[in-house]
Structure 1
Amino acid sequence: MLGIKELTYTSMISFLIVVILGPIFIPMLAKFKFGQTVRDDGPQSHLAKNGTPTMGGIIMIVAILITGLTRSRVSKDMFVGLVCIGGFGFIGFLDDFIKIKMKRSLGLKAYQKIILQFALALYVSYYQYVTSPSATQITVPFTDSVINIGVLYIPIMMFIIIGTVNAVNLTDGLDGLASGVTLIVSTFFMIYAGLVVVNPEIAILAAATVGACLGFLGFNSYPAKVFMGDTGSMALGGAVVAFAVLTNSVLIIPLVGGIYFAEAISVILQVMSYKLTRKRIFKMAPIHHHFEQCGWPETRVVFTFWIITVVLAWISIISVF
């Protein structure tokens, strides 16, 4: 079992790597004109963010990789976790690079994203299915009940992985929102992996993600000096699903990651409502933009979503203990 001291040291190392790399890497992004292209159909107040350096998620990925590899033995779980984070981050990097190169707000085509995400989700799901004897035994939060999903494990996990990664990606729409929410979610998984299921490699990986998110917030909180881009948001989504899948706790994601869930559901409901009735449920989706359109300052939306995530994390801790 890892102690709080070891996990704190791990987070500090990752935090320092981001803090050191930020002032070096961000000017490089600006120099090479790797700037954000804000969508015209988004909030008009966000158009002022056009040109803000993006792809800053690379800093977080580097910090997590270095910290994970130096603070723990490279076990199979650690390797798969790093592949999940780096792999989804690479898909996001391709998306960002195409946006910048083509000077447009859309990068990879939908089918290209799905193929790459499908392959990575299949790899992670298959690994856990063949290596963890209890993989198919899914524990229901707040109860002692266990659901045995048997041979359906791989397709169900793939659906959860792809859905969660894209939900985290949707959450990255305001300064500091995705990085702050994921910091809190990762803190929960750090405690869960370190103290409950006792998977030290995943606890280390979660601690590294906590430190990376905290360091990045220094550059990404309002007004953001850099955006994480799809590079960062998809890497963070990969981190969350890696923690959950490798600790066999995927049913906790809708609870501790309730904000991710709300963001994704708001988009799904908005699209369905408009296609069926030509009416919109929200003023704008994802839901963080709805609150902006209601007159909330960006900082108020972000802070409120952080507080909600802290409450959900506490409830999640209660549910697993």
Structure 2
Amino acid sequence: MKSILIAAAIALIASIMLTPYLIKIFSRQGFGQEIREEGPQSHKTKRGTPTMGGVAILVAMWLGYLGSHLVNSMSASAQEQTPTASGLLVLLLTTSLGVVGFLDDFIKIRKQRNLGLNKTAKLVGQFVATIIFAVLVMQFPNKDGLTPASVNLSFVRDIAVVSFGVIGFVVFCYAAISAWSNAVNLTDGLDGLAGGTSAMVLGTYVVISFWQFRYNCSNLLVAGCYDVRDPLDLAVVAAAAMAGCIGFLWWNAAPAKIFMGDTGSLALGGLVAGLSITTRTELLMVVIGGIFVVEALSVVLQVAVFRTSRRRLFRMAPFHHHFELAGWAETTVIIRFWLMAGMCCMLGLGLFYSEWLTAAGS
């Protein structure tokens, strides 16, 4: 538990202190956000706000994770001293997608338009990051033979009857990671919306991962235990990232002084996808990240309905813009979406705990 608290504290302080420094640097360099011409007119005033603030989240996450291990190496048990394969692979995936997002943001700034990397280049970047993660996450078995991920589909634990096989698992990873990174990217349309929602989702994974550590099959041979390779280290990663989001949100909340950009949104999407894969909660993540799912589905439905009927299902997609155009104040939309995100997280935790009660009692 101490390692989780240390990671969160370091990341929170780093994010709060680094973000205003980035605001000054990016403002001086003219790294301002471009706004979609077809977007809500109220957003025009946001043009020029510094972007690429996701750098602060990534740096804070790494500092929190490494700092926690450094502090614990001086006093903690051997189990808590060294970084693990699961934690490092999730961090690698997150950082790789953050680099793709950074390139996308940088091109937008250089060309002064709201289009950065073209679709092919962005998909190639996501593909490379995903394939490396998917291949490596099936390696590095521990003393019990557990690898960071399983080729089986999972809900709260592996569903043994649904196995992808090695090739199928790689394809599944690409689909899941691309979907989640793009879903968080679509959610990042209002001040603090993606940051606040991500913090709640990551906080949920702190609880889930720590619970899996307490009832891990490597430590306890009891009914309802979890076959997860490095749950405590995954909790440290989630705690560091959560605190990084909270520290960034201090400056990103409405009216935002900086945006996370694709640097942050693609990275956070990859992070939650990686956590769901390594904690064996891939389907549960659909519930926990319900807001991300709704935002992505709203775009899919908008496009599908418009192409078939030439009519718009929503005033504008992603979904949060629909309410803005309906007359809701931006802060009202943000707070209500945060409330829904919180309810999704609580429902996910409820399902997780109820499954454990059932498994432990059987």
Same-fold call, TM > 0.5? Answer: yes
Q: Which residue of 2 aligns with 1:139?
A: 154
Matched, 1:83 2:92: yes
Aligned equivalents of 1:274, 1:294: Cα separation in 2: 19
What is the CA deviation profile of residues 14-64 of structure 1, one whole-angstrom value per residue up to 9, with x for unaligned ones? 010011112222111100000000011000100000000111111111111
Pairwise CA distance, 1:128 = 2.6
Report how many residues are paired: 317
Q: Which residue of 1 aligns with 2:116?
A: 107
Pairwise CA distance, 1:145 = 5.5
Equivalent residue for 1:292, pick from 324, 332, 349? 324
CA distance 1:270–1:13, change in 2 (3 Å): same
Q: Which residue of 1 aligns with 2:200?
A: 184
Q: Which residue of 2 aligns with 1:27?
A: 24
Pairwise CA distance, 1:147 = 4.1
Pairwise CA distance, 1:99 = 0.4
Aligned equivalents of 2:212, 2:342: Cα separation in 1: 19
Matched, 1:257 2:254: no
Aligned equivalents of 1:150, 1:70: Cα separation in 2: 37
What is the CA deviation profile of residues 109-150 of structure 1, one whole-angstrom value per residue up to 9, with x for unaligned ones? 000011110111112222233454571233335x99644223
Q: Which residue of 1 aligns with 2:224?
A: none
What is the CA deviation profile of residues 207-234 of structure 1, one whole-angstrom value per residue up to 9, with x for unaligned ones? 0011101101110000000001111111
- Letter of the structure 2 residue corresponding to residue 75 of structure 1: T
Q: Which residue of 2 aligns with 1:309?
A: 341
Aligned equivalents of 1:253, 1:26: Cα separation in 2: 33
Query: SS at the partner of 2:32?
Result: coil
Matches within 5 A, 1:147-296: 147-151=161-165, 152-197=168-213, 199-296=231-328
Query: SS at the partner of 1:248?
Result: coil
Q: Report if the CA contact (8 A) 2:152-2:158 is conserved.
A: no
Query: SS at the partner of 2:153?
Result: strand
Query: SS at the partner of 1:66?
Result: helix
CA distance 1:69–1:144, change in 2 (3 Å): closer
Pairwise CA distance, 1:98 = 0.3
63-72 or 264-273: which moved more?
A: 63-72
Aligned equivalents of 1:65, 1:194: Cα separation in 2: 19
More helix by share: 1
What is the CA deviation profile of residues 243-262 of structure 1, one whole-angstrom value per residue up to 9, with x for unaligned ones? 11111211112100000000
CA distance 1:135–1:53, change in 2 (3 Å): same
Matched, 1:126 2:126: no
Q: Report if the CA contact (8 A) 2:158-2:280 is conserved.
A: no
% identity of equivalent residues: 36
Aligned equivalents of 1:214, 1:157: Cα separation in 2: 28
- Structure 1: segments with no counterpart, 5+ residues: none
43-52 or 241-250: which moved more?
A: 241-250
Q: Report if the CA contact (8 A) 1:255-1:316 is conserved.
A: yes
Bigger-Rg structure (1/2): 2
Aligned equivalents of 1:112, 1:11: Cα separation in 2: 34
- Letter of the structure 1 residue corresponding to residue 41 of structure 2: Q
TM-score (norm 1): 0.95
- Structure 2: segments with no counterpart, 5+ residues: 70-81, 141-145, 217-230, 354-362
Matched, 1:71 2:68: yes
Query: SS at the partner of 2:320?
Result: helix
Q: Which residue of 1 aligns with 2:359?
A: none
Aligned equivalents of 1:45, 1:233: Cα separation in 2: 22
Aligned equivalents of 2:345, 2:312: Cα separation in 1: 31
Q: Which residue of 2 aligns with 1:47?
A: 44
Pairwise CA distance, 1:10 = 1.8
- Letter of the structure 2 residue corresponding to residue 225 of structure 1: K
What is the CA deviation profile of residues 178-226 of structure 1, one whole-angstrom value per residue up to 9, with x for unaligned ones? 0000000000111111112551111100000111011011100000000
Matched, 1:117 2:126: yes
Q: Which residue of 1 aligns with 2:55?
A: 58
Aligned equivalents of 1:239, 1:230: Cα separation in 2: 13
- Letter of the structure 1 residue corresponding to residue 171 of structure 2: P
Q: Report if the CA contact (8 A) 1:129-1:153 is conserved.
A: no
Q: Report if the CA contact (8 A) 1:129-1:154 is conserved.
A: no
